[in-house]
Amino acid sequence: MEVRVIDETGQQAGVMTVQEALKIAREKGLDLIQIAESAIPPVCKFGEYGKYKYELEKREKLLKKKQRVIEVKEVRIRPQISEHDLQIKMRNIRRFLEEGCRVKINLVFKGRQMEHQELGSKILQRLETELGSLFIVEQQPRLEGTSRIAILAPKR
């Protein structure tokens, strides 16, 4: 079986049999590392296997570190909320959106408040007028039991 060989400096050494490549690697005091198995012919490289393995692990850690799980933060609001409390909730929503998190707005109605759902709609409209430039509505407000739920995602 033939393999394409790359030397320790990164230059192509040509196509040769596996036995020839292993012989050259032993003479240089290095290992023969298979890099691309699916290529025709397979690509191998002269080098230290321990160092190669360490670099692969380091690269995988870096890629894993760059991945970020998108969090969904939940903000619960009652329709009879005071002005100051609403300002604090909006400040938190703004912070969550700026951090890149999705925000689940949970308007909780209790008892007879279900008959006055327009109060909840007013709160949602106010959120949209004050923070509308920061988000897109991922899920329109819908009634689930005694709550009206909407999901907001940050604008990219």
Q: Identify the sign of the CA torsion 119, 121, 126, 127.
A: positive
Write down the pLDDT at residue 44: 92
Q: State the Cα–Cα distance between residues 47 and 30, nearest whole angstrom.
A: 5
Is domain 2-65 annotated with CATH 3.60.110.10?
no
88-102, pLDDT tens digit by residue? 999 999 999 898 889
Asked if residues 2 and 19 have their Cβ atoms less than 8 Å apart, the reply is: no
Q: Determine the 3-state secondary structure of 125 from DSSP.
A: helix
Q: Please write the tens of the pLDDT for every residue from 56-76.
A: 999 999 888 877 777 899 999
CATH architecture designation of domain 72-154: 2-Layer Sandwich (3.30)
| pTM of model > 0.75 | no
Domain boundaries defined on the chain: 2-65, 72-154
Q: What is the pLDDT of residue 50?
A: 92
The confidence score (pLDDT) of residue 1 equals 84
Kindly tell me the burial class for residue 36, based on how many C-beta atoms sit within 10 Å of its own C-beta (0-12, 13-18, 19 or more): middle
Share of the chain above pLDDT 90, in %: 45
Rounded-to-integer distance, Cα 50 and Cα 40, Å? 26
Res. 105: pLDDT tops 90: yes
